Amino acid sequence: MEVAKLTGVTRVYKIGEVETRALNGVSLTINDGEFTSLVGPSGSGKTTLLQLIGCLDKPSAGKVFIAGKETSSLNRNQRADLRKGTIGFVFQFFALIPTLTAYENVEMPLLLNGKSSAQRKERVMDLLNAVGMTGRAHHRPDQLSGGQQQRVAVARALAAAPKLILADEPTANLDTENGEQVMELMKRLNKETRTTFVFATHDPRVIRYASRVVTLEDGAIVKDANG
Amino acid sequence: MANYFKMAYRNLGRHRRRTFLSALALALGTALLMFIAAFFQGEMRSSMETTLRLNTGHIQVQDADYDPDKLSVAWEYLLENPEQAAAQIEALDAVQVATPRLLASGIVSAGDESVGVQIMGVVPDSAANDPYRNLVAGNFITADDREGIVIGAPLAKSLGLNAGDSLNLLINTSEGGVDQQQFIVRGIFTTGTTAYDKGIVFLPLSKAQAFSGATNHASLIFVLLKDREQAEDVKAALHGEGIKVETWTEMNELLTLVNDFSDAYLAIINLIILSITATVIVNTLLMSVFERTREIGILSAIGMKGRQVVALFLAEAFLLALAGVAAGSLMGWACSAYFGKVGIYFGDLGMSSDMLLNDRIFTILPLDSALNLIVTAFVITIAASLYPARIASRMEPVEALHKAQ
Ligand SMILES: Nc1ncnc2c1ncn2[C@@H]1O[C@H](COP(=O)(O)OP(=O)(O)O)[C@@H](O)[C@H]1O
Ligand SMILES: [Mg+2]
């Protein structure tokens, strides 16, 4: 079963007169349960590709299918609706909402999905438990270490039980130990919940966790290997 | 819903000083609005009441040829047998009091000083004279007093007169000549309107008639109604050969006009003040929106829709407006209540006699104007906040995330 499919996707950014071709005719299929790593040098288009898969952005040309559905005709709000139930994000920077506690950050996608307070409570506690953050549930992000914040971010990405989680260099701002912890966590969740993961990275220690490695260069896929 | 307010509350707490200052700006704006409204109300009511009570009454009956500006006591301009007519008018249901008055011009002198005055002959015990019965010294005149006079406090002061002192009064008579006589100051009154008090003296009507040669005549019948809104109805009931009847609106065209437009003036002032406070709030929220670009991107990425982002910022505006408007209303109300008791002293503004003002203006803040202002301040603040909220809701998640990195 394919979770996401891109066909001939091109993305050109325009800033004033300057055009940047971040992706150039990329075709890619992400299958259910994969743990895929997108690698390539900085500027090769990894983030852009993740954003297109995640419907945060629209391609300049080509098509993006999510669970078999073509997404180019969706407006902003429809794309937000699609994201909130089917796609979770983990960002490179620690992207928790600073005014909310760890608990409330994880709760946010559940609120947006209209879950009852009892359902939310149970789910949030389960997730914080799964990422080993139960003890810090009521701490604000600034009271957590980078690794702890990223684990909370993973819990938040999982909250709405999405089919697909997109992680953009999730370990880039973590030390080795914390980086490994986060990767272990994602790998474990991938096995236990069959959630599909795609993560961008150029950290070789991270790449070895991947079951598939897609290599980008100058906005094009130059290698796609099962690892 | 509660969650939006929870987030909004915490977001406001991120920049306490900024939040405090914007709420303060809104509070001061609201307080100022209330105070201005209360001042306007007080001023309008004071000038209307003072002018009607002291100057024109609600209705005047005059000879058809009478010209109030000339103060002439020539017979052809006067009403004959005024006491009888006044009694008939007073018998009407809507009328509170009707009393004849004779107006002449004259000059008061004492020692070396002389001052031109209006001489008003009144029926001393008429309730229409109540405003003049507030005496700082002596007593009011009685009907059969042949040499008593009542003068205003500023006039007494400028001539150095006390109750019991005598003065010389010169009068322009019906025949076109002048006459003069010594009078004894029986009492010194104050109405609280210096512009009025310094230019008028009172004699008993019969004495004024005899002195001016206008025996059994009066310049006008001064009428106060139980309800001034009935002036037109009463006017319609009063007609006769050779007389004219004027209502307070006809006699005070300028004042009624100012009164009618006061709401519009006030609305313009409100708009100016509120646009200033709204600008402060919009500015604060815009700063928050741009500071939180990344957060908006994250929230959007995890599925927050445009209108939910709008709701988030509106909740912030709502809390800000609530705090600001509440504090401002309290301040405004306290100021208005204080100056409603104590008054604001302006002294003699030298207003023309067409529009009299009390020397002290007491602020009046009716509940409905206060509520009106509170609601308006609130609604305008929230409406203005729609602009930054919409900017936030239209941010593309990619742009927002890219900028943040
Ligand atoms: N929002 C954007 N606006 C303009 N240019 C962008 C934007 N996002 C990425 N780019 C450009 O597109 C190219 C690919 O960027 P990116 O997808 O971030 O690569 P990577 O994640 O592999 O480093 C780069 O040249 C980058 O500067
Ligand atoms: Mg990147």
- Using a CB-CB cut-off of 8 Å, the residues of chain A touching B308 are 112
Q: Which residues contact B326 (CB under 8 A, 6 or more apart)?
A: none
What's the domain count of chain B? 2
Say if residue B228 is in the same domain as residue B100. Answer: yes
pLDDT band, residue B18 (cuts 50/70/90): very high
Ligand 1, atom 26: nearest CA belongs to which residue? A43
Going from N- to C-terminal start, the domains of chain A cover 2-226
Look up the domain containing B339 and give its range: 2-52+255-404
* CA A3 – CA A33 distance, rounded (Å): 9
Contacts with B398 from chain A: Cβ below 8 Å: 51, 56-57
Contact between B303 and A160 using a beta-carbon 8 Å cutoff? yes
> Does residue B215 share a domain with residue B272?
no
Residue B405 confidence (pLDDT) above 70 = no
More confident residue, A1 or B227: B227
Question: Do B71 and B175 share a structural domain?
Answer: yes
**Over residues B28-45, mean pLDDT:** 92
In-domain check, residue B355: yes
Which of B292, B302, B319, B399 should one mutate to test binding to chain A, selecting the residue with the greatest count of A CBs within 10 A? B302
**Residue in A closest to B399 by C-alpha:** A57
Q: How far is CA B107 from CA B76, B146, B181, B267, B357, in A?
A: 23, 18, 11, 46, 24
Averaged pLDDT for residues A75-103: 91
Shared domain for B172 and B303, answered yes or no, is no
Strands B220-225 and B135-138: unpaired
Give contacts of A81 with chain B, Cβ < 8 Å.
303, 305
Q: How far is CA B119 from CA A62, B84, B188, B271, B344, in A?
A: 99, 22, 15, 47, 31
Contacts of the segment B239-242: beta carbons below 8 A, 24+ positions apart: B242/B63, B242/B64
- pLDDT of B70 higher than 70: yes
Q: What pLDDT, on the 0 to 100 scale, is given for residue B170?
A: 96
Give residue B57's pLDDT: 95
Helix (H, G, I), strand (E, B) or coil at B288: helix
Q: What angle do CA A198, A94, A57 make, to 5 degrees?
A: 50
The pTM of this model reads: 0.82
For chain A, report the end-to-end CA distance as a whole number of angstroms.
20
Residue with token string 């150029």? A202
What pLDDT shows up at residue B3?
86
- Give me A189's structure tokens: 């969740």
Pick the closest to residue B103 from B197, B185, B214, B181 (CA basis).
Answer: B214
Instruction: Give the atom of ligand 1 at the shortest distance from the alpha carbon of A168.
Output: 21
pLDDT tier at A191 (50, 70, 90 boundaries)? very high
B331 and B287 housed in the same domain: yes
In this structure, the answer to whether residues B267 and B209 fall within a common structural domain is: no
Region B336-343: what's the mean pLDDT? Answer: 94
Given a cut of 80, whether residue A59 has pLDDT beyond it is: yes
- Does residue B246 belong to any structural domain of this protein? no
User: Which residue is associated with the tokens 């030390």?
Assistant: A175
B249 in a structural domain: no
Cα separation, B339 vs B328, whole angstroms = 16
Q: Average pLDDT for residues B130-147, to the nearest whole number? A: 95
The binding-site residues of ligand 1, defined as CB within 6 angstroms of any ligand atom, are A 13, 15, 20, 22, 40, 42-48; B 398, 402
Query: What pLDDT is stored for residue A118 in this prediction?
Result: 95
Which of B193, B212, B241 marks a domain boundary? B241
- Mean pLDDT value across chain B: 91
Q: How many residues does chain A have?
A: 227
By C-alpha distance, which of B55, B1, B33, B31 is closest to B266?
Answer: B33
Among A48, A89, A168, the mutation site with the greatest number of ligand 1 atoms within 8 A of its Cβ is A48
- Taking 90 as the threshold, does the pLDDT of residue A203 lie above it? no
Residues B394 and B262 in one domain: yes
pLDDT band at B39 (very low <50, low <70, confident <90, very high): very high
Q: Would you mind telling me the total number of residues written for chain B in this entry? A: 405
Looking at the domain assignment, is residue B57 inside a domain? no
Query: Does A80 sit within 8 Å of B304, measured CB to CB?
Result: yes
Half-sphere exposure of B218 (CA within 13 A, CB side): 25
Token pair 């946010």 in the structure block, residue: A108
Q: What are the residues whose beta carbons fall under 8 Å from the beta carbon of B253, sequence distance 6 or more?
A: none
**Which own/partner contact pairs does B153-157 have at CB distance under 8 Å and 24+ positions apart?**
B153/B188, B153/B189, B153/B190, B153/B197, B154/B194, B154/B197, B154/B198, B154/B348, B155/B108, B155/B115, B155/B117, B155/B197, B155/B198, B155/B199, B155/B201, B156/B185, B156/B188
Q: Which residue(s) pair with B135 in the sheet?
A: B189
Note whether B282 and B232 are same-domain residues.
no
Query: Could you tell me the pLDDT band of residue A122, with boundaries at 50, 70 and 90?
Result: very high
* Residues whose CB is less than 8 angstroms from the CB of residue B238 and which lie 6 or more positions away in sequence, other chains included: B59, B61, B89, B245
Mean of per-residue pLDDT scores for chain A: 92
At B41, phi and psi to the nearest 5?
-55, -45
pLDDT of res. A112: 92
Q: What is the pLDDT of residues B268-316, one digit of tens each?
A: 998 899 899 899 889 999 999 999 998 999 999 999 999 999 999 999 9
Structure tokens at B166: 């005598």
Q: What are phi and psi of A208, to 5 degrees?
A: -70, -15
Shared domain for B209 and B267, answered yes or no, is: no
Superfamily of the domain at A2-226: P-loop containing nucleotide triphosphate hydrolases (3.40.50.300)
Residue found under tokens 């994250």: B298
Atom 6 of ligand 1, residue of closest alpha carbon: A13
Residue A172 contacts by C-beta under 8 Å, 6 or more apart in sequence? A92, A201, A203
pLDDT at B386 over 90: yes
Does the pLDDT at position A227 exceed 70? no
